[in-house]
Structure formats: C-alpha cells, structure tokens
Amino acid sequence: MPDTPAPTADPAPALGLAVRLLTAWATEPALRTAPAALPSDPGIPALAHVVAGYGVPEATGAAARAVAVWAGAAGRGPAHTGLYDGGLSGTLVGLRLGALLHPPLHRAADRLGDRLVEGAGARRWRREGVRLADYDLITGPSGMLLALCAVGGDVPAGPRLEPFTAQLGALCDGDDLGRLRTDGYTAHPHLSWLQGRINTGMGHGVAGLVAALTAALRRTGPEPTTAAALGRAAGWLAGQSYVDERGLRTWPGAATAGPPPPVAAPRQAWCYGTPGVAWALWDAADVLGDRAAAEAAADAFTTVAERYDEGFHLSGDRPGDLLGLCHGAAGVLALAEAFERYARLPAAGALRARLVRRLEDGLGRAGVREGWGPDLLTGAAGALAGLLTAGYGGSRAWLPCLGLR
C-alpha cells in the first residue's frame, strides 16, 4: 500500500484535544444524556481506536475508559439497523473498533453481526417508490454493507453479504437507475425537494450505493452480478456532472431534468458535491479496472483541490458544519488524503496540508464541547479522528464507515 507523506507538524495538540474529549465524555453523564445523544453511534470508539494506536499510556488509558462507558450503553437508542443516526450497524462497527482495547467486545460484535445478517434476509426493502432507508448509507442497506465489510472477521463472507448486494443490485437494473427515484416525500419538511428525483450524494444517494458495492467487491473478489450493477450505477453518476461558474467539475444534489445551472453551490463535502462523489467514482473505477473512469474522477477532484475556497465552501453556524466529517473540513481532508494516497494526486496533497492547518486552528478555537456532540459524522469525535488519521498517520480502521479505506 502506498504511504502518505509523513506529517511535518506535531500531533500532540490534536491528540491532547482527543484525550480531553474522551475523558469528558466518560466522566460527565450530562454529555451522554443530552437530547441529541446517540449512544450507539461509533464516534467515541472510532476516536478511541485512533487515539490508542499512538501508544501513549495516558491517551490509551483515556481511550479505554471511554470505550468501557460507551459499551455499557451500546445498542440503546433508535430501533433501526443503519450505520448512522444511532443504528445498530454503527454499534457493530463501534464494538469491533472498541475491541482493540476490550477484546471481549468481539463476542458481542459476533452476536450483533449475526443478528443483522439474519434479519436482513427477512427484510422487505422497497424496489419501487423507494425511501432513503431502502438503499442509503445513513440508515439503509448501503451503510449496513459498509459496516459488515469494515469490521473484518467471518461476518463479511460472500453469502452473508448477499441480502445487501442483492437489494442494491436490483435497484440498479437499468442504466437510468429509475428504481432509485424516491417517493413519499411530497409533504416532508426537509426532503420535499427530493420527491421523484435520484439523489447523487454519499450519505443519501448513488455515491453511497457505489461506495458500498465497491467495498463488497473488494471484500469478496470478482462477482459478475455485483460488478455489473456497480458499473451501471457509476456510469449513471459520472454522467450527472457539470462545470460550475468557479470551474469545478461537480454534481447537483439530485439529478436534474436538463443541464444544471452553473451557479456554484457552497457545499463541496463528503456528503454532497465533488469530494465524496469523485472518490466513490474513482474507487469504483479502480476495483473495476476502468482506467479512463478513474482518470475522469481524479480530474474532477483536482478541480476542487485547486479551487477549494474555505471562505465559500465551508459554510454554516455550527462547528459540525465547518469542521465535521459530513459537511465540513474533516471530511474533505479525509478525501484529499485518500486521493493523495491511492491516486497519487499532487493537488490533493496540497489541499490536505491546508486543511490540516484549518482543522487544527478550528478545533483549537471551538474546543471539544460547547454543545457539540461526539458523533462520528457531525461531531467533534469524527473531526478529531479525521485530523489524526489524515493529518498524522493514525489508524485507518474506521475509514470504511465513510466509504474510504
């Protein structure tokens, strides 16, 4: 595996922030019982796993205590099976990552993995008039598939993944991906814009589905049906790109009837826009052996790396919007590092260095509490894990939760 160039700065400040977050979370019940707290989210064990990997005794002790507290509540919260929003697939990932510090958690992970796989065979995911939970990465089978591929062990054997790959493959049985047109959101207060449309993003759209099928193929080896579905999904997604007024090759949030207007959208992040979509396409092309598609995806990311404007592309009032993995700098940092590492993209390395500095400054000013939760996608735990991994060579074991590796 190619190596990312060694970081030039000292990881101690970021590691110190991570230790303070883990310590506060483990010792102050109010941080764990806030209305928005998600006890099953993998953020705390993911950060603890990264922190323990540095081998600093004080840091490892704080990580172990945090995982022990997290494990005591794991599995509570929303009763769904997704990877995020407190779902049980996220709990599975957290148990596996936490087992580095508490090996008995592997037994709990084995039982939960069996439960998720056996339950999937009886599920009735829609294949017409789909909702997000019928396919997406946050609460649907794409995220469950990523979780099972991430955790290692015996769970991800090919036949065990079949309920998930079959559902995603069935939704990609036509070149137009017509089965992925969403329904049921006409009156939804936040998702009415998506009614009858196909989402392109990583969290709720085709990019996340592409990432999940890519991970399955890497895990199981060549499988013609899955590879064909992946090829159709990636081909459709590549065809939705356009060049905006800032010169970025990018993607609309959902497919449009005609060419999208070239007005630049502020959000260029893991969840929407070029960073996440381009990575999903590059990684799919890599596993399928499609060099031309890989070059096109790398070229698209280069337009962002060369034109990324923190003042415009990082927007919002909350730390999670500016610094988090889903919307903010930490997610773009993780994606830039992936393009630098695997695609050998020079522009990605320059963007990575800029975003390391940005995150160090932002996390230092925002602190690790200040009403900011510890979840992985939008919380301080995810932002710190992204900084430590992509900036300072920390463990990569949690990255499959983002469709990375």
What are the pLDDT digits (tens) for 253-273?
999 988 888 999 999 999 999
pLDDT at 6: 43
Q: Could you give the residue ranges of the DSSP H alpha helices within 123-273? A: 141-150, 158-171, 206-220, 224-238
Least confident of 21-30, 131-140, 151-160, 166-175: 151-160
Structural tokens at position 95: 């148990």
Across the range 9-26, mean pLDDT stands at: 91
Across the range 69-95, mean pLDDT stands at: 91
45, 324, 202, 81 alpha-carbon torsion, rounded to 10°: 40
Percent of the chain with pLDDT over 90: 82
pTM comes to: 0.95
Q: Which of 217, 218, 268, 222 is nearest to 241 (CA)?
A: 268
* Side chain identity at residue 362, one-letter code: G
pLDDT at 387: 97
pLDDT at 79: 74
Whether the per-residue pLDDT at 344 is higher than 80: the answer is yes
